């Protein structure tokens, strides 16, 4: 049982680090990849806790399916920075400059 301590510590650091990075980053694609790493870490936790059926389900749904759906959704949208700016003039009317 003591040989499991080092891999568990590494998984905890990976999972917590990925969670912090997913919250802090401004790039949505990096945040989605980071949440995929969180799901991967959780599936490995479930495997260590001797729940292989839950680990396989988490790996299939959390890592693969959800990450792929989010990446496809992000690719089909535009970023706010890519849209043209609309500024109001003194009369409150919108102008495209």
In the chain, domain spans: 14-76
- Answering whether pTM is above 0.85, one says no
3-state secondary structure (DSSP) of residue 18: helix
The 10 Å CB-count burial string (b at 16+, else e) for 31-60 is: bbbbbbbbbbbbbbbbeeeeeeeebeebbe
pLDDT in tens, the chain (97 residues): 678 888 889 999 999 999 999 999 999 899 999 999 999 999 999 999 899 999 999 999 988 899 999 999 988 887 666 556 666 555 666 655 5
| Angle CA 33–36–41, to nearest 5 | 130
């Amino acid at each position: 049982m003591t040989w499991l301590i080092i891999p568990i510590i590494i998984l905890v650091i990976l999972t917590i680090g990925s969670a912090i990075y997913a919250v802090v980053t401004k790039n949505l694609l990096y945040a989605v990849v980071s949440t995929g790493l969180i799901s991967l870490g959780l599936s490995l936790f479930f495997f260590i806790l001797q729940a292989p059926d839950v680990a396989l389900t988490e790996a299939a749904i959390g890592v693969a399916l959800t990450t792929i759906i989010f990446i496809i959704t992000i690719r089909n949208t535009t970023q706010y920075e890519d849209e043209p700016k609309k500024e109001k003039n003194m009369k409150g009317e919108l102008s495209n400059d």
